[in-house]
Amino acid sequence: MEAQEPAAWGDELVFHTFSMVAVDPATGESGATVTTRVPCVGNGVPWVRAGVGAVATQASTRTAYGDELLDMLERGMSPQQALEQATASDEQAERRQVGVIALDGSSAQHTGTGPGAWAGHRAGTNYATQGNVLVGPEVLAAVAASFEASEGSGRHLADRLIDALAAGQAVGGDRRVGRLQSAAVVVADPREGRSRRADGLTVNINVCEHTTPVAELRRIYATISGTLGFRTLEQYSGNDVWQVKLILHALGFYRSDTETLERGRGSQFYDDEIVSAVDAFRAELGLSTSSSGTPRGLVDTATIEAMWTALEAAGKAVELRETIRALTAVRR
């Protein structure tokens, strides 16, 4: 982790923050999520192990607690037994804040006297949430309420964790202002075939620095999961579509058997016919196509430049520019 640490980190790792560790007994998933006003919180606070549980170690952060507590759980100790044993030999225990949860939903938490106010923790069915240097207890109350409301919903654990984190952020979260911020969510799934990794991690999103890290966490998760709503779906229609049709017709890729294109009903729709024409043009020019992973019908800057280069070579650029100039005149 050292190579990824911000230069400002000293010998002692401190994450004043709020977090949640949770499990989903129905799927066997375990996860942790966290946000703070310090960069790269995902590098130190959340620890997850497939089929075992999750740990959040924060405030004056002892990262070794992550593996130590998960090892104890894996050996059959309860979260309470594991946490008591770990903190008993820690001379700095009063400066720590830790949350640990096992796959059966049992949990244990420790908030020493050292973490800044407001500091505290609370737990419920299949979760434990803890925080320090917060605006008040309402932060953890909001985190807990959000997670409890989604219990039994069938939603992915990562999805529920991010929502819970956002709920805490919405009521104030970390009370500090004017600082770098970060957030992370980590989930592991022990079921065969659910992860591409040997350690079972399925979700591992670390927003190391962002002005709105929890919102960015949501955006990244929604995008990579393909959740409906992460983008606007539409069939494009407009002058630009008609221009593409005119250009590719002039180059012989679109309705080459028609001498003149007539503008009428549907002429401005980006339909499958023009998508195929665009792909044929890109293939002819050696540009990437759907066979190499490029979206079908991609018309980007490189495509447009290639179209005009081809029109120039064919001696048709001047005529098309005149036609398009008339089409694009602003009349409002």
Q: Spell out the domain ranges in the chain.
A: 2-225, 239-327
CA distance 98 to 46: 10
CA distance 27 to 10: 39
Residue 13 confidence class, pLDDT cut points 50, 70, 90: confident
Return the structure tokens found at 312.
């120039």
Crossing angle between the packed helical segments 239-250 and 301-314, to the nearest 10 degrees? 40
183 closest CA partner among 59, 44, 7: 44
| Structure confidence by residue, pLDDT tens digits, 269-304 | 999 999 999 999 999 999 998 888 899 999 999 999
What distance, in Å, lies between the first and last C-alpha atoms of the chain? 57
pTM summary value? 0.82
Contact partners, residue 50, CB within 8 Å, separation at least 6: 28, 30, 188, 189, 190, 195, 199, 200, 201
Angle at 144 between CA 137 and CA 84, to 5 degrees: 80
Q: Which CATH number fits domain 2-225: 3.60.20.10, 2.60.120.10, 3.40.430.10, 3.40.220.10?
A: 3.60.20.10
Return the structure tokens found at 59.
């405030």
Predicted pLDDT at 9? 47
| Structure confidence by residue, pLDDT tens digits, 212-262 | 999 999 999 999 998 888 888 888 889 999 999 999 999 999 999 999 998
